[in-house]
Copies of this chain bind each other. A is one copy, B any other.
Amino acid sequence: MLLDGKKVSLEILDDVKERVSKMNVTPHLAVILVGDNPASEIYVRNKKLAAEKVGIMSSIIKLDANIKEEELLHKIKELNNNPNITGILVQLPLPGHIDKNKVITTISPKKDVDGFTPENVGKLSIGIEPYFYPATPQGIIMLLKKYNIKIEGADVVVIGRSTIVGKPMAQMFINNNATVTLCHSYTKDLEDKIKTADIVVSAVGKKIVRCKMVKKNSVIIDVGIFRDSNGKLTGDVDFDLVEPTVKYISPVPGGVGPMTIASLMYNASKVY
């Protein structure tokens, strides 16, 4: 069965829209875009369009690729102190001369709609409600819950340990009482680990999950998105062969991608 992220994301966006329409303050998301990475420009534009749809104001702040780190940090502090701005998002990746961690730690945790600041990440780990959960893992949990997939007690394998997906995904599954194995480039016998998993989340960016690896009736979440040799958008999972074996699978495109946007808009609608 297909985990229809497209459809579920529209339901969530409807909920967000209704919620925003009833708020006294209109949320206002500031998106910082440094340089002119074409992929980043598309992502930022999609976020702006989604915000418009749900009634969230947004401003894109385009900064030169050569901007000094100090200037960027200053800009973020300005937005932190601007009472009209309720959310701040810095589009990644950043140019090499800028320390990503410095940028992230400068964002006010109360405006950190990506959920990437140490305070929000730490609260997630401790089990204190953070101001924001990272968008992609939150979207995946939302998707699983919409389909009433049991997380509690499930054996979960998360492949990829990025701070954007893999690590917070593992935390969120643990907080939902799943048993989590976090795998990455140093993992041995990945196939054996996938084979025993009730739920697999793959966030690698290359074709890695093959049919023979997956357990019958398991749930497969594909976070990867890239173009194959024919230029076609594809994910980490060998979809056509895996699909008949498993119980649920998220497609690429139309799975985790739209859920991430909806989840981000849910975050952007929160005002602290």
A128: CB under 8 A from chain B? Answer: yes
Shortest Cβ gap from A213 to chain B (Å) = 15
A188: CB under 8 A from chain B? Answer: yes
The docked-state distance in angstroms from the alpha carbon of A150 to that of B155 is 26
Across-interface contacts of A119 in B (CB, < 8 A): 118-119, 122
Across-interface contacts of A187 in B (CB, < 8 A): 153, 179
Chain A interface (Cβ within 8 Å of chain B)? 101, 104-105, 116-123, 125-128, 152-153, 155, 161, 163, 167-168, 170-171, 174, 177-184, 186-189, 192-193, 196
Across-interface contacts of A161 in B (CB, < 8 A): 174
Which of B101, B126, B152, B179 is in CB contact (< 8 Å) with A126? B101
Nearest 7 pairs between A and B by C-beta? A122-B122, A118-B122, A121-B122, A181-B181, A177-B186, A179-B187, A153-B186
Q: Given known contacts A101-B128, A170-B182, A192-B196, what 20 new A-B pairs fall within 8 Å (CB)?
A: A101-B126, A104-B126, A118-B118, A118-B120, A118-B121, A118-B122, A118-B123, A119-B119, A120-B122, A121-B126, A122-B123, A125-B163, A125-B171, A127-B163, A153-B187, A155-B188, A174-B182, A178-B186, A179-B183, A179-B184
Oligomer copy total:
2
- Asked if A181 contacts B184 (CB within 8 A), the reply is no
Query: Which among A126, A181, A192 has the highest number of chain B CB atoms within 10 Å?
Result: A126
The docked-state distance in angstroms from the alpha carbon of A189 to that of B116 is 34
